[in-house]
Structure 1
Amino acid sequence: MSSSAASRPPWWAHAARPTRPAVPWALLVRAAVGTAVPLFVGLACGRLGFGVFAALGAMHATLNDRMEPARLRVQRIGTAVGASAVGMVIGGALRHFDVPLLAAVVVLTLLGFASGALSATGPRGSAAGMLLLVSAALGDGMAPAHPWWAAGPLMLLGAGLVLLLGLPYRPARPADDPRVQALAAVYEALGGLLTALGTPQGAAARRVLTARLNQLQDLLQDPLSSLLPRPRRTRPTPSPLPQESAHLHHLHRAYEAALAASEAATGLLWAWRPVPPEVAALPSALARQLTSPASTAASTPADSPPNNPASSPPDAPATSKLPDWSPDTPARQALDAALRTAADAVAGRAGDPATAVHAAPAPPPDPWRLRARLLSRGSARYGARVALCVAVAEAVTAGLPLDRAYWVPMTVAFVLKPDLGSVFLRAVSRAVGTVLGVALTAALLSLTTEPWLLAAVAALCVALLPYSAAAHYGLNTAVMTPMALVLVQLGGQSGVAEVGPRVLDTVLASLIVLVFGYLLWPERAPHRIEPRIVTATGTLRAYLLSVTGPTLKDPAPSQVWLRRTAYRALADARQEVRHGLTEPPPAGRQAEAWLPATAALERLGGAVAAYAAQLRYGGRRPEPAEVTRVLAALEQLATAARAHRPPDGRTERPPGPHNPARSALAQAAGELEQLLR
């Protein structure tokens, strides 16, 4: 065992360690008010059952609420709660029409397949698929509303209240826009990476930057190009843009500059070359400028003539300028050009055409993409996985004297949500968190059953969900369990004596998932990692071919998107390895075996960035032989991943900075061949 492996914490330490996210106070307040209002109104009107279903809708909306523009919030929450309402109506229909047991099991199993297939299509599909099955199980087990079909509309009503509470958020100034905040976070992370160049902390700083870029990309996922003005061929002087279009244009330019600066910084990280402290401090200054209270540059038309006094508002803040320095390598020259462009973009200036970075936003979403993913092999496999566990859960609960049998399939749906990491970790954390939550609920219900107080407790638990979900799955379960039990208590269906069986239900559901969705299911940690490795090699291949293509001095827009796609695929592969490390042996050891490959691919991304700088600024011409070596190594690594064979070699970072006279690609090819030998 290598020294690095010996010093790495055991799998259970990875699994138990919570994160410490920032407290989203606005989301917490919104969640508490959105849950408390329907419960209190229901109590005041004597229709508490209606208030409980509306509070469930508010809770499901809270699980999917984010600090983002209103249109994205409506899409995210509407998709999730819409699926939840459909599931509640289906479950309520099964109960209301007293559907025979076998038919109900078949319906829920088919719904489980649809839920799993939908969950595998992406984050929004994952939320919608989980809530579809959860609400169907709840609707089949809870006492129905009167009339029975009213539960779904009541949930939509509760979710609508959460949406309305977020509408007053509309930013009063551009600096308050969540996209601007995310952009500022990107520049802060970029400054952290530049500060860490040439130190052992560089790799961790690069991963932070990639995560911030991923977050910003998600916020900008709507095609910006459709909102920006089209180029005019007949009018030499463009007219001022509408305020919102100018704001989006400003964000777009600053985002492009951040992408270019990130590429240059990644190349410098690979080359182990630091930059002067005053240069490393510029991105943080740009982040402060973006969020400055006096910042009005976002509303300035970015295509205004550079010498027009009207293009700089009198109350605009002082702009940050790149200090005088002499970049002596191609990668440093690339960083210099990108930072100058970033300073111009953040300030709302047109910029110097000589240093402009030409980029493009993500391509518009394909309207058939969801359909293709829903019908893909991966979605079908995950749908079959969920359907199998639901069928087993229904069969087991039908043969056992469980008073609230819906709790078992509901727990199965929560544990099998595909984008929350290791299934093993979630199953164990769910059981432990439920025990803690049940203990807290039992203590509470032994002290009081006052409805008004219980409604306040339920609202408090929902308010804690945004923080606990980001901190740890077990903690989230410990918060969600009291909330669910209190809502059931308010509906008149529970009491202190019925709290204990929920532990048995949860343990039973966790065992079903561990056996049929984990131990007996072939798709465990390495089988999730290896497709990510194959995807990462493919995106790096496309990025390398775009770098060595015909547009060297002026990178094509497609190259920018290929670069971003490659870095995101690398982050996804690293994330899957990290999730695999939380599983016990042998799955944890197999995940650990892929760590060198993911590290090598991340270093290759930096080497390609450094090589791109050499081609653009160093006068180097493409080297077909070295490109062929790297492509052959990438294909060999992808073949090994498809065959479930982690490479046995190890690569070490060469001592000292990279010599800019040497080909960065040649060194990268040598490192990959060393890994694969």
Structure 2
Amino acid sequence: MGQTPISPGRVRPADWIVEMLRIRRAEFPLGHSIRSAVAVGGPFIVGSLTGHLITAMWIGLATLLLAAGEREGTYRLNFTIIAISTPIAAAGYLLGFIQDAPIAALVVLAALLAFLMGVIAGLGPAFSVGGMQFLLVASIALGVKGIDWWEPIGLYFAGGVLYAALLGIEMLLVPARPQRAVLVPMLTALADLARARHDDLAEGGDRTAAARGRATAALRAATTRVAEFSVRTAGSAGSWTLDDGVTGAAERVQAFLIGDRDPAAAEIAERRLRALAAEVAAGRSADAGEPATEPAVAGSSRGAALLSTRIDELADALRPRKRPAGARHERLVSGGIGREVVLAAARLALCYGIAVAAREYFPYGHWFWVPLTVCMVMKPDFGSVFARAILRVIGTVVAVALASLLLLVVPKGVGLGILIAAFAALVPWLMMKSYALQALAITPIVIFLVDVITPGDGGNFSWERIAATAIGGAIVIVFGYLIWPHSRRAWVAETFAQAMAGIAAHLRVAGTAVPDDAGPAADRHSELVAARRAATRAMSDLQTRLERALAEPPPADTVAGAWIPAVDAAQVLADSVTAYATDRVADDVPPDEPESAALAADIRHAGEGGRSGEAVAPTDPALRPIADRLARVRAHLADT
């Protein structure tokens, strides 16, 4: 899933609705989908054939939550998610033992537990998944009568073992699948950037902007998925690697593609990058076949030669080698419990407590669908709460109608198990495309499974479920969104200031002289690389913030729309700083520390909202394009 840069232009009043309903492009995750179908539908089918349908249902419910919680990341990440989230989620069934407690005590306890689950979500993806699963399981435990809850607890662990075993089978069959899944898009995106850069240099235009946005998104995806296993079998699909060296080399290629001004060099870069992508996709070694080098272009600049060198470094980094000591793994426990996490947890606690109180005010037996809806909508790390609430209601209404119709025509047993497996196979794919489509896939499975433990209900309470979903969505919108001014702000200005500060830091370091001594020169190079990465990621964060704000209702979408021209101008400014830094690395322009530092301070000042004071007018010709682009940013800021 690539990031699509925002296009400038006036935002119409209803554009936030279009943005909210947008269906993202996503490749079908074959392994994840097969695993989901087998893990969720398989136990149900076996239980139907052996007469242990209730046991199968509890296992299927566990594996459904695990399938929905799996990330498109490394095996190490997903094994950790299973190991951490399974005991957390299973503990949710303990609330079934106190389901008849006084409603006031139950509401307070539920709110406190929801707050705790929201807070631990800041510790990393495994805890975020576990927290949501705990609340989902707790909702069912509080609302379903006549169950010995020790059995579901044990069977949840059995579901975790089953799902881990299926994931282990894929790991043995396709050990480098997670790496390949991001390496090929990353190399392809860099090749597309090279083509866009060539066309812009040769013909004019601004194709680079969109291509750069996609390349940045692909690089970020790869950066979060460093390899967890050293796979070095020659000739196998694991005959290349993904680690910090690869992503760092890819970032340098991107920077030099943006900074270079030689269309012929960009064309050669495109061919080489596409060849690397083809080799990885085919499972061949990065050094197999023809060498990934081409003769330099006659009369090419030193910058073009450095671009070729950077691609050589990327090709070399892809070759299998022993992992260096101290290589970084993914941070599975981040410890990032800050103010934002606590505020999100407080909103979650308020909404979940009100939802659990539905036992008193919801006039039907399936009241637990109200808190179940709330925790699915308010999962802390999904972006816009408002959009999720609307999409959840829309998706659930359609899903409930579909599931109710299918329950009328498909008898319980093997046929229903096959239907569950079919829906489960779609869950991983639809989760990546739209929240409404995710609800459309998951809701019928939950209905089919929970229907088994509600004998005598007739298995078809469509209007109850729709009403409960609507109430849950309304609780989230009112108590999790509207009454919190903090959540209704666009927050673009703050993120814009961070991005401009990153651009300024990049320029400040790029303008310094390279020391003659090797040690200080290496330190400067490391500082330059870190500054470039920080600036690139800050701009990516700004685009993401803008996209989320555009999917919010007024006033957030109106504010975000006004920022579009300034954000686009800031990206052009960032590219011009990258080009200057490339010229400095190639030694095509001399350093000018005073003027570059003054211009960097001006960029930071503009990002902080400073419109007063005289703008810096550098005398260095290499810095004038940056000053011109900063002037455009200031002009757009005046209109926000």
Shift of 1:208: 1.0
Closer/same/farther in 2, CA of residues 84 and 280 from structure 1, 3 Å limit? same
What is the aligned partner in structure 2 of residue 382 from structure 1?
Answer: 344
Per-residue CA deviations over 1:499-536 (Å, capped at 9, x if unaligned) read 22100000111111111112211133534444433443
What is the aligned partner in structure 2 of residue 101 from structure 1?
Answer: 103
1:629 has 2:583 as partner: no
**In structure 1, distance between residues paired with 2:378 and 2:448:** 24
1:569 has 2:561 as partner: no
CA contact 1:179–1:219 (8 Å) conserved in 2: yes
Closer/same/farther in 2, CA of residues 530 and 440 from structure 1, 3 Å limit? same
SS of match in other structure, 2:293: coil
1:77 has 2:75 as partner: no
**In structure 2, distance between residues paired with 1:48 and 1:55:** 10
Which residue of 427, 430, 444 corresponds with 1:465? 427
Shift of 1:44: 3.9
CA contact 1:134–1:413 (8 Å) conserved in 2: yes
Which residue of 67, 83, 92 corresponds with 2:96? 92
SS of match in other structure, 1:479: helix
What is the aligned partner in structure 1 of residue 3 from structure 2?
Answer: none
**In structure 2, distance between residues paired with 1:662 and 1:333:** 23
What is the aligned partner in structure 2 of residue 258 from structure 1?
Answer: 250
What is the aligned partner in structure 1 of residue 486 from structure 2?
Answer: 523
Larger mean CA deviation between 546-555 and 406-415 belongs to 546-555
CA contact 1:29–1:463 (8 Å) conserved in 2: yes
**In structure 2, distance between residues paired with 1:380 and 1:254:** 36
Which residue of 527, 532, 545 corresponds with 2:495? 532
Shift of 1:285: 0.9
1:178 has 2:178 as partner: yes
Counting only pairs closer than 5 Å after superposition, residues 32-43 of structure 1 correspond to structure 2 as 32-43=37-48
What is the aligned partner in structure 1 of residue 222 from structure 2?
Answer: 216
What is the aligned partner in structure 2 of residue 455 from structure 1?
Answer: 417
CA contact 1:322–1:339 (8 Å) conserved in 2: no
1:131 has 2:100 as partner: no
**In structure 1, distance between residues paired with 2:174 and 2:386:** 45
What is the aligned partner in structure 2 of residue 60 from structure 1?
Answer: 65
Shift of 1:77: 2.9
What is the aligned partner in structure 1 of residue 310 from structure 2?
Answer: 338
Shift of 1:219: 0.9
Name the aligned partner's letter for residue 283 of structure 1: L
What is the aligned partner in structure 1 of residue 552 from structure 2?
Answer: 583
1:187 has 2:187 as partner: yes
SS of match in other structure, 1:37: helix
What is the aligned partner in structure 1 of residue 273 from structure 2?
Answer: 283
Larger mean CA deviation between 257-266 and 490-499 belongs to 490-499
Per-residue CA deviations over 1:387-433 (Å, capped at 9, x if unaligned) read 12122223354233231221111111111123333222211111111
Consecutive unaligned residues of structure 2, counting only runs of 5 or more, are 1-6, 516-520, 613-619
Per-residue CA deviations over 1:88-141 (Å, capped at 9, x if unaligned) read 33x22323xx32221111111011212222335554443233222222212211
Q: What is the root-mean-square deviation in Å for CA atoms of aligned residues?
A: 3.6
Shift of 1:545: 4.2
SS of match in other structure, 1:419: coil
Closer/same/farther in 2, CA of residues 274 and 324 from structure 1, 3 Å limit? closer
Counting only pairs closer than 5 Å after superposition, residues 143-158 of structure 1 correspond to structure 2 as 143=145, 145-146=147-148, 148-158=149-159
1:201 has 2:207 as partner: yes
Name the aligned partner's letter for residue 128 of structure 1: G
Per-residue CA deviations over 1:615-641 (Å, capped at 9, x if unaligned) read 21114204323323333432442358x
Counting only pairs closer than 5 Å after superposition, residues 347-362 of structure 1 correspond to structure 2 as none
Shift of 1:206: 1.0
**In structure 2, distance between residues paired with 1:101 and 1:139:** 15
What is the aligned partner in structure 2 of residue 505 from structure 1?
Answer: 468
What is the aligned partner in structure 2 of residue 402 from structure 1?
Answer: 364
Closer/same/farther in 2, CA of residues 395 and 142 from structure 1, 3 Å limit? closer
What is the aligned partner in structure 2 of residue 592 from structure 1?
Answer: 561
Q: Give me the TM-score of the superposition, normalised by structure 2.
A: 0.85
What is the aligned partner in structure 1 of residue 296 from structure 2?
Answer: 324
CA contact 2:139–2:369 (8 Å) conserved in 1: yes
Name the aligned partner's letter for residue 184 of structure 2: A
**In structure 1, distance between residues paired with 2:258 and 2:327:** 20
CA contact 2:239–2:284 (8 Å) conserved in 1: no
Shift of 1:327: 6.8
**In structure 1, distance between residues paired with 2:233 and 2:441:** 48
1:432 has 2:394 as partner: yes
| Number of positions where the alignment pairs a residue of Structure 1 with one of Structure 2 | 609
Closer/same/farther in 2, CA of residues 478 and 364 from structure 1, 3 Å limit? closer
What is the aligned partner in structure 2 of residue 27 from structure 1?
Answer: 32
Name the aligned partner's letter for residue 570 of structure 1: M
CA contact 1:171–1:177 (8 Å) conserved in 2: no
Closer/same/farther in 2, CA of residues 166 and 82 from structure 1, 3 Å limit? same
Closer/same/farther in 2, CA of residues 243 and 450 from structure 1, 3 Å limit? closer
**In structure 1, distance between residues paired with 2:86 and 2:527:** 36
Shift of 1:447: 1.8
Which residue of 611, 615, 620 corresponds with 2:584? 615
Per-residue CA deviations over 1:419-466 (Å, capped at 9, x if unaligned) read 333222211111111111111111112223322222222222221110
Name the aligned partner's letter for residue 153 of structure 2: G
1:15 has 2:17 as partner: no
Shift of 1:168: 2.4
